């Protein structure tokens, strides 16, 4: 009898002991996080210091998801400019500290846990370690030089001519609705694919301005928080065969096709040792002629680098163009001033001068800076860890290796620097303006990021913005264009998906030509 009870209760006892052990572990972990962790003394809600579930709730479950930026903004109002937003992360909201935090001189690591979120952990962008990032980034930089972009810029000009010809043919006077998100998505997709891979997809000629590449980049960002917080979802998804992905998500077809083409292009470049004539101007050829060691030049590594370049190049440029157009159409006074400047500077609309010349136009430049400010680049905070010594913020000492983040949204909407910050006011950028602390206002333009990890493609981004907007608003078609069922909520940040997203269900910025 005794033996029988003992046998029966054995699993029960094990369960009790295991459960008690678990509770004890959680209790000890909680105590450590709240009272003994090196960042225990920093202010912030205790629950967020105790568990990652708070961050997870706001990123995945609250409302439409992606609500964490709004929540920690509220915490800053309550607890001050430096707060603990999770058991292992501090967040600072103080625009003046941005350039210290994202300094070009200090070694800085990115967290490992976000390296896999876009399926390209071997890219420079995703690389956690500072030294490895430096090596990869130095190899990328020459490819994106200003001179190289300037040489390429006539191709952007040609794409714009195609777009304008199509608008005249298919949209003007027809009442047909034009999605500017799609139109600019075609321009940015064609540009990056031609610039980096010497491929010509001619998305600008596709029916309804549909660029599968652009749409795929938008779709790929949608699950980003899930992929970070529930990493096995990413592993499952990335291990699915192409045929199944096609079946589950038919819109991925063109991306898979693009990926396959890219892979065979890389294989071609690799087998020619980077010396083949055919792909001589591609990013792959450029990387093969860099000082990168052989283990950095594998097919997979080059694939990851190209995904990163496309992902970074397509979406952010498209979004900035869309934000610019919305506000310019929404403010007749701004539109009139811009059109007047362009008409004076460009006597013949069919002969738009070079990017260099356009960049000298003050009002166009001011509109571009203001659109960049309000499109943020990324809406998610950018976490960094400083491995080589403590970081000092006011009276606080942040221990070496601690994850700290800041975000662009807070700087763009710092009312002391950008009064009436939610309004589009190009004039704030005119005449070499200063911030209240006496520094150039441009020091607070942080939408391309700052420091060692800032945007590689900044020159290409600017070239597209200048050439795109100058052609569009100089065109005679513009006098008849007006917004169609579009308001501010179609461009304002409502959901963070690494990149900013408007309210759910928004159809983007649309216009018609009367």
Least distance to ligand HEM, CB of residue 369, Å? 11
CA 266 vs CA 291, 306, 310, 312: distances in Å? 18, 10, 15, 19
Residue 306 binds ligand HEM (CB under 6 A): no
Residue 152 binds ligand HEM (CB under 6 A): no
Residue 379 binds ligand HEM (CB under 6 A): no
Return the residue of 120, 286, 316, 471 that touches ligand HEM, per CB under 6 A. 316
Residue 456 binds ligand HEM (CB under 6 A): yes
Measured from the CB atom, is 269 or 372 closer to ligand HEM? Answer: 372
Are 103 and 417 in contact by the 8 Å Cβ rule? The answer is no
Residue 153 binds ligand HEM (CB under 6 A): no
Residues numbered 460 to 479 that lie near ligand HEM (CB under 6 A) are 460-461
Structure token digits, residue 177: 């609705």
Structure token digits, residue 357: 């010349």
Residue 125 binds ligand HEM (CB under 6 A): yes
Measured from the CB atom, is 58 or 409 closer to ligand HEM? Answer: 409
Residue 148 binds ligand HEM (CB under 6 A): no
Q: Provide CB contacts within 8 A for 267, sequence distance 6+.
A: 299
Q: How far apart are CA 290 and CA 143, in angstroms?
A: 10
**Residue 173 φ/ψ region, left for φ over 0, alpha for ψ in the -120 to 50 degree band, beta for the rest:** left
C-beta nearest to ligand HEM: residue: 457
- Three-state secondary structure string covering 251-310: HHHHHHHHHHHHHHHHHHHHHCCCCCCCCCCCHHHHHHCCCCCHHHCCHHHHHHHHHHHH
Stretch that binds ligand HEM, among 2-10, 343-351, 387-395, 445-453 (CB under 6 A): 445-453
**Count residues contacting ligand HEM (CB under 6 A)?**
24
Measured from the CB atom, is 84 or 319 closer to ligand HEM? Answer: 319
Stretch that binds ligand HEM, among 252-260, 371-379, 482-490, 503-511 (CB under 6 A): 371-379
DSSP letter for each residue of 127-172: --SHHHHHHHHHHHGGGG-HHHHHHHHHHHHHHHHHHHHHIIIIIT
Are 321 and 466 in contact by the 8 Å Cβ rule? The answer is no
Residue 286 binds ligand HEM (CB under 6 A): no
Residue 121 binds ligand HEM (CB under 6 A): no
Residue 449 binds ligand HEM (CB under 6 A): yes
Are 373 and 447 in contact by the 8 Å Cβ rule? The answer is yes
Choose among 34, 32, 76, 71: nearest CA to 55: 71
Measured from the CB atom, is 317 or 412 closer to ligand HEM? Answer: 317
Residue 500 binds ligand HEM (CB under 6 A): no
Stretch that binds ligand HEM, among 30-38, 204-212, 273-281, 442-450 (CB under 6 A): 442-450
Residue 214 binds ligand HEM (CB under 6 A): no
Structure token digits, residue 165: 């010809």
Measured from the CB atom, is 402 or 447 closer to ligand HEM? Answer: 447
Q: How far apart are CA 393 and CA 97, in angstroms?
A: 8
Using CB under 6 A as the criterion, which residues of the chain lie in contact with ligand HEM when the complex forms? Answer: 124-125, 137, 192, 308-309, 312-313, 316-317, 320, 372, 377-378, 382, 447-449, 453, 455-457, 460-461
């Amino acid at each position: 009898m005794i033996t029988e009870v003992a046998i029966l209760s054995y699993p029960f006892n094990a369960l009790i002991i295991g459960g008690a052990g678990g509770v004890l572990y959680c209790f000890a972990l909680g105590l450590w996080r709240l009272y003994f962790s090196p960042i225990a003394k920093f202010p912030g809600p205790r629950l967020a210091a105790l568990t990652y579930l708070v961050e997870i709730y706001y990123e995945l479950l609250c409302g439409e998801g992606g609500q964490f930026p709004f929540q920690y903004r509220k915490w800053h109002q309550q607890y001050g400019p430096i707060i603990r937003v999770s058991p292992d992360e501090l967040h600072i909201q103080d625009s003046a500290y941005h350039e210290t935090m994202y300094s070009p001189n200090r070694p800085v690591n990115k967290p490992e846990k976000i390296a896999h979120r876009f399926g390209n952990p071997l890219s420079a962008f995703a690389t956690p370690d500072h030294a490895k990032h430096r090596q990869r980034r130095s190899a990328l930089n020459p490819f994106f030089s200003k001179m190289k972009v300037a040489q390429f810029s006539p191709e952007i000009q040609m794409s714009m001519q195609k777009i304008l010809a199509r608008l005249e043919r298919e949209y003007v006077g027809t009442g047909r609705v034009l999605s500017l998100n799609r139109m600019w998505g075609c321009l940015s997709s064609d540009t990056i694919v031609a610039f980096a891979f010497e491929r010509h997809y001619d998305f600008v000629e596709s029916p309804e301005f549909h660029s599968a590449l652009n749409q795929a980049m938008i779709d790929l960002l949608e699950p980003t928080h899930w992929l970070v917080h529930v990493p096995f979802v990413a592993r499952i998804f990335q291990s699915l065969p192409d045929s199944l992905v096609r079946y589950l998500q038919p819109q991925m077809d063109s991306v898979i096709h693009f990926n396959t083409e890219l892979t065979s292009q890389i294989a071609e470049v690799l087998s020619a040792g980077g010396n083949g004539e055919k792909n001589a101007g591609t990013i792959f050829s450029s990387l093969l002629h860099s000082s990168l060691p052989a283990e950095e030049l594998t097919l997979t590594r080059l694939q990851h680098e190209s995904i990163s370049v496309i992902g970074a190049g397509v979406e952010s440029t498209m979004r900035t163009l869309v934000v610019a157009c919305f506000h310019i159409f929404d403010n007749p006074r701004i539109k009139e001033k811009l059109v007047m400047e362009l008409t004076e500077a460009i006597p013949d609309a069919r002969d738009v001068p070079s990017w260099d010349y356009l960049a000298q136009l003050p009002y166009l430049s001011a509109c571009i800076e203001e659109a960049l400010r309000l499109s943020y680049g990324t809406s998610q905070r950018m976490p960094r860890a400083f491995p080589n010594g403590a970081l000092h913020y006011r009276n606080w000492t942040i221990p070496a290796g601690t994850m700290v983040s800041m975000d662009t949204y807070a700087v763009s909407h710092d009312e002391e620097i950008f009064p009436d910050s939610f309004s589009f006011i190009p004039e704030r950028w005119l005449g070499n303006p200063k911030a209240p602390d006496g520094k150039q206002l441009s020091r607070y333009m942080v939408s391309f990021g700052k420091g060692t990890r800032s945007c590689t493609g900044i020159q290409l981004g600017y070239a597209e913005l200048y050439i795109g907007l100058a052609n569009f608003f100089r065109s005679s078609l513009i006098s008849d264009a007006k917004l169609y069922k579009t308001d501010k909520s179609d461009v304002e940040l409502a959901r963070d998906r690494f990149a900013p997203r408007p309210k759910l269900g928004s159809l983007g910025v649309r216009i018609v030509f009367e």
